[in-house]
Amino acid sequence: MISPRFYIPLFLLSALLITTCAQVDNKNSITVEQLRDEIKANDNLIVLDVRNPSELKGPLGFIEGVVNIPVQDLKLRINELKEYKENDIAVICRSGNRSVTATNLLLENGFSAKNVLGGMNEYRKNK
């Protein structure tokens, strides 16, 4: 039987890792309000919507001028974004989960990308 003392350091290490990951994620995220400001102020901003094309026709709609590459296709289609390598990219999805994955993939490939917290749900709520 494993001693309860074994679990205390394991719990503390897990808590530390979760906290560290959350801080890194916030560094690479923006709020919907910040996105709206960036869209107005930054002509070089690219909004990448990583939802499926059918979702863009759904009730949440889409942001005018977005580039649409579904997250599950992004790794194979990342070269389509090559021309935007010097641009800031705001990555959005429905709720902000898929866009985290896409943002991390873009960052790993040398893009300047930020996840939009809350996604299109938040974007439409705060119109």
CA–CA separation, 91 vs 78, rounded Å?
Answer: 13
Query: Which residues are CB-contacts of 86 (< 8 A; sequence separation ≥ 6)?
Result: 44, 112
Residue 67's SS3 state is strand
Task: From the candidates 46, 81, 93, 117, give the one annotated as an active-site residue.
Answer: 93
User: Is 21 an active-site residue?
Assistant: no
**Helices then strands (H, E): number in the chain?**
6, 5
User: DSSP assignment, residue 78?
Assistant: G
CA–CA distance, 99 with 121 (Å, rounded to integer): 13
Catalytic residues: 93
